[in-house]
Amino acid sequence: MATNGKAENGVTEEIPALPFPQPAKIQDIHHTKLFINNEWHISSKGRTFPTVNPATGVKICDIQEADKADVDKAVEAAKAAGERSAPWRKMDVSSRGRLLHKLADLIERDRVFLAAGFPPGVVNILPGFGPLAGAALASHMDVDKVAFTGSTAVGQLIKETAARSNLKRVTLELGGKNPCIVFADSDLRLAVEETQKGAFYNQGQCCTAASRVFVEESVYEEFVRLSVASAKSLVTGDPLDPRTSHGPQIDRKQFDKIMQLIESGKKEGALLECGGRAVDDTGLFIQPTVFSGVKDHMRIAKEEIFGPVQCIFSFKCLPEVIDRANSTKYGLVAAVFTKDMDRALSVSSALEAGTVWVNCYNALHAQTPFGGYKMSGNGRELGEYALAEYTEVKAITIKLSNNL
């Protein structure tokens, strides 16, 4: 995944590399309670739920389970924090910025644990918001916003509930069935590398997963061959080991859903090129899976899998592939691979997605707005657009005396 501070993001100055992380072990668990209003609380009904290490199947600890009363308490605390008399509202912009940077430093300090299983640099996104937040907060001070990330089904429920709740605004960043279009003139090895980063990043458990790859007919077979070789080279193992490039799924329910969709792909006639099986009986590992010969009507072509499954389609002409890429209820991200920049720009404009990457994938920046079309959500995260989502603009008009 491309991240802030790398040359491909337009940064040319030399930035010292972080020390390569060493294999980490899960530390002693100190906090398992609900964190509300800067304090740790037992849930109102005293219920807990287990957290299991998906790599081993071993329970890590029991966590307090919030109930409606706990959520209400947290909401009241959040409202109180936004009152005019609250410390945050009285704080000047520079002080707010310093707190954001302090939070970023703490996240960077514990990045090995917070980003277990993610590529290095995944926590770079927060420091980039410092200057943006300072500038925006200087002119927009009132905040009245709720944001959620989740599935489209959950997002629909949230939106319906919000509509019955005094016109509460919500930002929804939801699902995706994201198309990549690979033209014959592209750098094929680059296209394979980037689309597989998109397909297998975080074991496919990502709203931006590159789950539909459309490849021009003349290079289709070569693209499939290179994709299979690349998928087989991934290293499966403990996500806390830096040598690992492919970890476990998040839980048994998701594991079972992915395996069911893989079986549906085989039954509906897609060709399983590699993977498609569980790795062992202890953890929730699924082999990186590549399907070729995928057709638009298949379940794996239409449903968000949220697992390590790459679906490769073929196409003949430009109008056809644009129609097929847009033929989905989702519209989060897309990608185009070609050396023809005129074509790249025209195709990017035609694709119904909130973000389009050209000759790259998952190139996210704190300064660039991110969000979806259609059922992939409402509003934008990141960039100044995101800060505007969380603020209210106020116009104050003063009539001046005409005594001059």
Q: What is the pLDDT of residues 91-123, one digit of tens each?
A: 888 888 888 888 888 887 777 677 665 544 444
Round to whole Å and give the CA distance between 201 and 245.
9
Round to whole Å and give the CA distance between 89 and 97.
13
Q: Which residues are catalytic?
A: 173
Round to whole Å and give the CA distance between 22 and 28.
18
- The per-residue pLDDT for 232 is 94
pLDDT (tens digit per residue) in 333-348: 999 999 999 999 999 9
Note the Cα 66 to chain centre separation in Å.
Answer: 25
**Are residues 329 and 375 in contact, defined by beta-carbon separation less than 8 angstroms?**
yes
Mutual orientation of helices 93-109 and 129-139 as an angle, nearest 10°? 160
Output the six-digit token pair for 216.
């021009």
pLDDT along the chain (404 residues), means of 10: 40 47 62 92 92 86 93 91 86 86 82 62 48 48 50 74 75 90 96 95 92 96 96 87 86 93 96 91 88 96 95 96 95 96 95 95 87 88 82 87 76
**Are residues 182 and 216 in contact, defined by beta-carbon separation less than 8 angstroms?**
yes
- The per-residue pLDDT for 116 is 60
Round to whole Å and give the CA distance between 224 and 205.
22
Round to whole Å and give the CA distance between 81 and 37.
9
Query: Which domains are present in the chain?
Result: 143-174 (no CATH), 179-364 (3.40.309.10)
- The per-residue pLDDT for 368 is 86
Round to whole Å and give the CA distance between 98 and 134.
9
Round to whole Å and give the CA distance between 318 and 99.
49
Output the six-digit token pair for 201.
């990043």
Give the per-residue SS3 of 201-230: HHHHCCCCCCCEEEEEHHHHHHHHHHHHHH
- The per-residue pLDDT for 391 is 79
CA distances from 290 to 82, 121, 179, 294 (A): 49, 27, 15, 10
- Number of C-alpha atoms within 13 angstroms, CB side, residue 55? 15
* pTM, 2 dp: 0.80
By CB atoms closer than 10 A (0-12, 13-18, 19+), residue 186 is: buried
Round to whole Å and give the CA distance between 103 and 129.
11
